[in-house]
Amino acid sequence: MITVIGSGRVGTAAAVMMGLFKLDKRILLIDVVKGLPQGEALDMNHMSSILGLDVEFEGSNEYRDMAGSDLVIVTAGLPRKPGMTREQLVEANAKIVHEIGREIRKHAPDAVVILTTNPLDAMTYVMWKSTGFQRERVVGFSGVLDAGRLAYYIAKRLSVSPASIIPIVLGQHGESMFPVPHKSYLHGVSISKLLSEEQIGEVVEETIKAGARITELRGFSSNWGPGAGLAIMAEAVKRDSRRSYIASVVLNGEYGVVDVPIEVPVILGRSGVVKVLEIDLSPEEREKFMQSVEAVRKLISSVPPSYLT
């Protein structure tokens, strides 16, 4: 069974796409709002009936119902509100993630956990500490979205399919992310040989500001991109496909970093992160990467210690 905790726009988009992919016969939605996950599940079951899918959606307000889940996707959390500092957001969402992590440890102790709660990398650390799981079983979602956006903007300029681009985005999800067009490729050819430095600068800026642009245009943050990204990560876990994606995982010596989760290329399979892939970085690229690492480390230092047990 797959459990999705949080029945907002991202959680429901992910649940629908996982249903369309037929990743499991049972997909459970959990939310603290009474009636919300049950209503969403009922609507999705009507969708399943119309499309002829052999997938049953369920809704619950009880964490104990996730028992037996081998994959738990966490989309719950508060968005950053006007006037709220990043530190205030860290504390508010750390409390939520800590509570959910303890429930996962209790009811789904063998599950792989993928989460989207922001600030993503710091919350990945909180989830890792709260569950007590091996680092490989706690994966932060963001890199798939950031890389997908980078591939989109590169492909638009080259007039090719985004599927032809192998994009690399490292570091922290958010303003300190580090898109790396020079390490991104079109069938073996570096993007740096296909775009001018000015175009590369534009692509990087568009990638970093993509989420803010969506919010500016429609009044709320993205959900279809995250939903799609979560679905393909879930597919790698459920089908043990061992595909490479960009994801946030606690590093243990890779890139010379210890005890900090950060966006890096990984191989995903049934057990979560099968392998962390290390990319050779130039001195300038490594400096930017480490700036992201330090930004995440600073956020983690602002998490109340009680949420790290």
Domain boundaries, given as residue ranges, for the chain: 2-141, 143-302
- Could you check whether 2-141 and 143-302 share the same CATH topology? no
Of the residues 46, 173, 182, 187, only one is catalytic, namely 173
**What is the predicted pLDDT for the residue at 57?**
98
Candidates 155, 212, 165, 205; CA nearest to 185 is 165
Tell me the C-alpha distance between 47 and 184, whole Å: 38
Q: Which residues of the chain have pLDDT under 70?
A: 80-86
158-197 CB burial, b ≥16 within 10 A, e <16: beeebeebbbbbbbbbbebbbbbbbbbbbeeeebeebbee
**What is the predicted pLDDT for the residue at 85?**
67
Tell me the C-alpha distance between 16 and 43, whole Å: 10
Tell me the C-alpha distance between 136 and 131, whole Å: 12
**What is the predicted pLDDT for the residue at 38?**
98
**What is the predicted pLDDT for the residue at 83?**
67
Q: Is 173 a catalytic residue?
A: yes
Tell me the C-alpha distance between 96 and 115, whole Å: 12
DSSP state of 217: H
Reported CATH class of domain 2-141: alpha beta
Give the Cβ contact number of residue 79 at 10 Å. 12
CATH number of 143-302: 3.90.110.10
**What is the predicted pLDDT for the residue at 82?**
64
Q: How far is CA 122 from CA 4, 132, 177, 178, 256, in A?
A: 20, 16, 14, 17, 19
Q: Are the CB atoms for 280 and 254 separated by under 8 Å?
A: no
Diameter of the chain measured on Cα atoms: 55
Q: Are the CB atoms for 263 and 248 separated by under 8 Å?
A: yes
Q: Output Rg (C-alpha) for the chain, integer angstroms.
A: 19
